[in-house]
Chains A and B, each alone.
Chain A
């Protein structure tokens, strides 16, 4: 059972009045992450919406030491800081508990540009947490196609809808043999909180991916951010799972979909609510292309179901 909302701690690491859009899922997720990590942490940010929402000098929107780094270096910078902190502790320059080093990176900095540094950091198994808040496009620069963009989605660089499916980044990270990998989303804050607390207490490289439905990029109404995130999980487009030392376990409500207790909701409703699939729905081959999207989702569910059975 996930932690109930009433039992979440009071600490606020994201301060009111930052520069994020109203209804931003990234700050929504970061608030819950902040509750789990506490104030003893160091945050690394690659260019993303979260850097823009930090606010203007001399004020800072996040209650952590923040380091802004280059796009491709999320993994390597976090590795360096982890080692520096450990050496400082060894030499007695740092007292008390070691701070948690975590990078807060969008899907561009994880799936595409930052992948090689991240992969190397995972291979070295450095003691850090990599958070990917996945809004399925380069939203900060005006919605361009990324490796996380699903098939059929409109972006400014795929005006007729993307033709390729997205890649399963969390599974890719799991195949690096790192101790902890999890996926979460903003609609299930208790689940997200538990996963971050678990990751904090495991030494080594941890990877947590959070689905963040961006209302500007996905083109739906601003108040429906959480609804959209919930619909993604219920339709099976986003699966909630965690893997400890390579053992995959699914979390509610994705576990019901995987076990076959409950059928996933048809993707139609999820797709129709989003403006980014609009052009696809208006075309002459609309039914065929929705079937393609449904096919991608069904394949992913079937694949993850079988992958979870391998526990060597």
Chain B
């Protein structure tokens, strides 16, 4: 990954957030209960957005779109979808 220099270049560079802060699309936020979580990494592998940290199961809410796939696939039910506050 490279950063864009100040001079304009007609080339796109690989960078996070190419669609903006996609976390603002979210209507429900996934919340992990670390007491129940057994770190099976199912949520990490099925997350389409690659926002879940593999080791600690921490979700990056800046980019999480709140699709809820992780909550459905979690075998222990450690992830719940909580409605976002207005």
Contacts and interface: CB of A to CB of B under 8 A. Distances in A.
Interface of A: 5-6, 8, 10, 12, 14-25, 27-28, 31-32, 53-64, 186, 189, 222-227
A63 B81 CA distance: 30
A22 B14 contact: no
Contacts of B62: 16-17
Contacts of A31: 47-48, 50
Contacts of A16: 16-17, 22, 49-51, 60, 62-63
Contacts of A60: 12-15, 18
Contacts of A61: 14, 18-19
B15 A226 contact: no
Given A32-B45, A61-B14, 16 more contacts: A8-B45, A16-B16, A17-B18, A18-B22, A18-B49, A27-B48, A31-B50, A55-B12, A55-B19, A58-B4, A60-B12, A60-B13, A61-B19, A223-B68, A226-B46, A226-B69
A17 B46 contact: no
A18 B64 CA distance: 10
Interface in B10-29: 10-22, 25-26
For chain B, give the interface size range. 35 or more
A134 to B, nearest CB: 16
A5 B45 contact: yes
Nearest to A186: B46
A6 B12 CA distance: 33
A14 B68 contact: no
Contacts of A15: 1, 14-16, 18, 50
B68 A18 contact: no
Interface of B: 1, 4, 9-22, 25-26, 40-42, 44-51, 54, 60, 62-63, 65-69, 71-73, 81
B63 A63 contact: no
Contacts of B66: 22
Interface core residue of A23, A25, A27, A227 (most chain B CB under 10 Å): A23
A227 B19 CA distance: 27
A84 B39 CA distance: 45
A135 B72 CA distance: 21
Given A58-B4, A225-B69, A226-B72, A20 B14 contact: no
22 contacts: A15-B50, A16-B17, A17-B17, A17-B49, A19-B22, A20-B48, A22-B67, A24-B48, A24-B67, A25-B48, A31-B50, A57-B12, A59-B12, A59-B14, A59-B17, A60-B12, A63-B1, A186-B46, A189-B45, A223-B67, A226-B46, A227-B72
A14 B16 CA distance: 9
Contact of B42 (A5, A24, A55, A222): A5
A19 B19 contact: yes
B11 A58 contact: yes
Nearest to A227: B72
Contact of A6 (B41, B46, B51, B68): B41
A32 B45 CA distance: 8
Nearest to B81: A223
Interface pairs A-B: 9 shortest CB-CB: A55-B18, A23-B67, A22-B65, A223-B68, A19-B19, A22-B67, A17-B17, A59-B18, A60-B12
Contacts of B50: 12, 14-16, 31
A15 B13 CA distance: 11
